[in-house]
Structure 1
Amino acid sequence: MKVILVPKFSCSVSAGFPSPADDFIDEEIDLLKKLIEQPSSTFLARVVGMSQINVGLFPGDLLIVERHLEPKNGSLVIAALDGELTCKTIDTERQLLLPANDAMRPIPVGNSELVIEGVVRRWIRCHVPLS
């Protein structure tokens, strides 16, 4: 796997009032090591649809999904429900897949074939599309 190091500035960036700029590069960071704990059990998936907008997931976001994590009640998961993939919060107590959009209904999984493909640990938002 090719490693690409990206410079990290030593200063923080204010999301409130601006602070004086600091041009000093503190270190270089391997983003894969920061974002992916176990590459051999991790996959990426692109979001389509609006079922997770209330948790801040939007179409085009890139999910980092880890197969080695045990899904727990309330985990955001990639699930294969009767062979179709979906990204939902799992409610193990009520056996539901929950959307995070008030316009959509929970999906009962009691009589369906459900396979949890992985747990969403992180996601990446692309504010300006890559050209």
Structure 2
Amino acid sequence: MPRQNVRIYLKALQDHALIEYKAAERHTAIVRATDKGFALLGHSRVTLSLPIIGDVAAGQPGYADEHIEGYATRLQDVLDIHEGDFLLRVRGESMLGVGIYPGDFVVIRPMQTEPLAGEIALVAVPGDNTATLKRWHRNNGTVTLLSENPDYAPMTFPTQDVLIQGCLVGHIGTGRSRQAR
């Protein structure tokens, strides 16, 4: 189809308020559906967004940064997410055994209750603003946080020294090529 015909169709859709269309002469066009256009397609522009609030250590505990870097939308199409859930980008290799790699995203659900034994949890550990993603095990007044990589030793703390920040409810691989171990 000739470029001029495409432009005519796009202008017609814009005239009917179905799209926003911006293009400079001989440049790439930017086309966005309007609310009316989404409605015609049976979709809504309103979606649940999760804040991307920083990184989480999946190795040695590191700074738990909590500023919002941006928002991810349409995750509810593939993950069971709820209002209040949030994303963290994984840093480190301690959870490779469950397929969580550096640069991947994890969906965390804030919890008021203790994780189940063996559940993967986001736990604030003693130190300055440190949190880590590990398997949770509690035993006689202590909590042991286990990695899914034999290169990382278990971490054990008195129960009162750790703070449960949430539990893993989803994982999003970032498409990086995986290397066999």
What is the TM-score normalised by the length of structure 2? 0.50
What amino acid maps onto 2:171 in structure 1? W
Q: C-alpha root-mean-square deviation of aligned residues, in Å?
A: 2.5
2:106 alignment partner in structure 1: 63
Structure with higher Rg: it is 2
Change (3 A) 1:113 1:119: same
Contact 1:64–1:121 (CA<8 Å) still a contact in 2?
Answer: yes
Contact 1:46–1:63 (CA<8 Å) still a contact in 2?
Answer: yes
* Alpha-carbon distance in 1 for matches of 2:112, 2:106: 15
Matching of residue 123 in structure 1 with residue 178 in structure 2 = no
Q: Deviations over 1:8-51 (max 9, x none)?
A: xxxxxxxxxxxxxxxxxxxxxx54254243222x1110000001
The runs of 4+ residues in structure 1 deviating greater than 3 Å are none
What amino acid maps onto 2:175 in structure 1? H
1:21 alignment partner in structure 2: none
Change (3 A) 1:31 1:84: closer
Q: How does 1:43-54 map to 2 (within 5 A)?
A: 43-54=86-97
- TM-superposed deviation, 1:112: 6.6
* Alpha-carbon distance in 2 for matches of 1:111, 1:75: 16
Matching of residue 96 in structure 1 with residue 144 in structure 2 = yes
Change (3 A) 1:69 1:38: farther
Listed as ranges, the gaps of 5+ residues in structure 2 are 1-44, 49-73, 177-181
1:86 alignment partner in structure 2: 132
Contact 1:81–1:112 (CA<8 Å) still a contact in 2?
Answer: no
* Identical residues among aligned pairs (%): 25
2:161 alignment partner in structure 1: 113
Change (3 A) 1:106 1:33: same
Contact 2:145–2:156 (CA<8 Å) still a contact in 1?
Answer: yes
Determine helix, strand or coil for the equivalent of 1:95.
strand
Q: Deviations over 1:51-102 (max 9, x none)?
A: 1111111001100000147411111011100131101001113620001110
